[in-house]
Amino acid sequence: MKNNRPILLVEDDKIDAMTVMRALKDLKITNTLVHVYNGLEALDHLKNLNYEKPCIILLDLNMPKMNGIELLKVLKNDALLKKLPVVVLTTSNAEKDKTESFNLSVAGYMLKPVDYKQFVDVIKDINFYWTISEIPD
């Protein structure tokens, strides 16, 4: 990623989280990865002044307690958090989820591939985009 701020992964599936960790390592992305399991944990982390704000949030949609769409609604209504770039990383190909995500100003919507090599390519694409983009402070 462009700077060395952490990446926040909001993902309830441990296997998918491990896949993201492995892909980041294989791509030699050195940003610290902070992993939380749902939207409530993400909010707690983001609002804690002891933690550095992430350079990007990788967000699953289907999670317990607070799903990705619910989290996006809260983020986009918070003056301090609304500028954080969010890329949805999900298995949902539902048009409703895509439309609602983009209406909430996500930076991208990526389907989680089943194949690991394709998954690495998705992470590579995200990394490439955020390497050449301006990331708000």
Collapsing DSSP to helix, strand or coil, 19 comes out as: helix
DSSP secondary structure letter of residue 104: T
- What would the two tokens of residue 19 be? 């896949």
| Nearest one of 38, 104, 111 to 72, comparing CA atoms | 104
Judge contact between 57 and 86, C-beta under 8 A: yes
The reported pLDDT for the residue numbered 90 is 87
* 36-76 per-position pLDDT tens digit: 999 999 999 999 999 999 989 999 999 999 999 999 999 99
Q: Which CATH architecture has domain 7-132?
A: 3-Layer(aba) Sandwich (3.40)
In the chain, where the domains are located = 7-132
Task: Identify any residues that bridge with 13 across adjacent strands, giving them in sequence order.
Answer: none
- Exposed (0-12), middle (13-18) or buried (19+): which is 111, by Cβ within 10 Å? middle
* 68-104 per-position pLDDT tens digit: 999 999 999 999 899 999 999 988 888 999 999 999 9
